[in-house]
Amino acid sequence: MENRIHNFNPGPSALPLPVLEKIKDSFLNYQSSGMSITEISHRSKPFDDIINDAKLRTIRLLNLGDNYDILFVQGGASLQFTMVPMNFLPDAAVADYVNTGTWSTKAIKEAAILGKTTHVAASSEDKNFSYIPKNLDLSADAAYVHITSNNTIKGTQWHEFPNTNGVPIIADMSSDILSRPLDIQPFGLIYAGAQKNLGPAGVCMVIIRKDMLEKIPANLPSMLKYTTFSEKNSLYNTPPCFSIYAVQLVLEWIEETMGGLENIHEINVKKANLLYDLMSDDGFYRGTAQPDSRSLMNVTFRLPSEDLEKQFVAEAMEKGLGGLKGHRSVGGCRASIYNACDMKSVEALVDFMKFFEQKNG
């Protein structure tokens, strides 16, 4: 399609072109209803079919048993930083958090605002969050262990999840959900803001093990209890219908076009390796994450100077390569190569990086 750039934005991020085309084709008249998808009632059969299909596809993709439920919640992952301790951390208990930077730090902060007790079981702050800690000091009686599976800003990712001796893991998987196969058994709850790897902004997918629902206090506000969403199929109030529709189409694309998580993981590994192969500690492009912790979703790197980084981002944009500026808190450059960022885009970026180095190295 003309005038579309290679989109490396970190979120909102690229959506699969077939999904966008399907939305475009059906936007004004969804399934001959005479209404846009943004106009149909969330109490109607068409929307019932959408939300139930999205749940079934998630169940199939992750091989979930009937002991898990899929919820759609507003407020993004940031609201989950609050909802998790409200629902699962009694005042007399402690929860373990692994601090791998930014999003983990915010999750810890939100629990503290509620007056909850948290224990930092491990942190990579000593090396500017450039790695995933391997040795965890877990509490003997933690209510849960919270991790952030992928850090979009620091470019790190858990490649092997910790053994928590049966304590449920609660994971923020906003930026790598459904990018690889997953053993769901250790997880009591997974949450993921859609705008990085699932769809547009506006909805957060929550995958919850049903025994966790039994732990939720009855006296929480209705919209801050997971039971409210579970009991009403995420239809207690008007949900973000369009965002859920787009998520359903992305799930369909992953399952039917891309062939599931094993295939998409293989592609993601190849994409990331193309970029990481250009980087070295003393080279023109220097990766900021330690090699064994490098993210397959967010490739973060520095150039020899900040002036060159600004020039790199500007010239890349002129070549139709967008979204390569690093997060404002860390600077540098970043290529977010989520599921919807295809191999051709990464190859175009690699060609530009080689050209830029030849010209400026």
Residue 116 designated active-site = no
Catalytic residue, chosen from 196, 225, 271, 325, is 196
Residue 66 designated active-site = no
Question: Hey, what are 273's tokens?
Answer: 């390796």
Q: What is the largest CA-CA distance in the chain?
A: 64
C-alpha distance from residue 86 to each of 90, 103, 171, 226 (Å): 8, 18, 15, 10
Burial of residue 318 (CB within 10 Å: 0-12, 13-18, 19+) is exposed
Residue 196 designated active-site = yes
Catalytic residue, chosen from 154, 172, 176, 325, is 172
C-alpha distance from residue 303 to each of 15, 163, 296 (Å): 28, 37, 20
Q: Burial letters for 98-128: b for 16+ Cβ neighbours within 10 Å, e otherwise?
A: bbbbbbbbebbebbeeeebbbeebbbbeeee
Catalytic residue, chosen from 69, 96, 103, 158, is 103
Measured between alpha carbons, how far is 315 from 34 in angstroms, rounded to an integer? 45
How is 202-226 classified by DSSP, letter by letter? T-EEEEEEHHHHTTS-TTS-GGG-H
Contact 90, 118 (CB under 8 A): no
Report the catalytic residues: 103, 172, 196
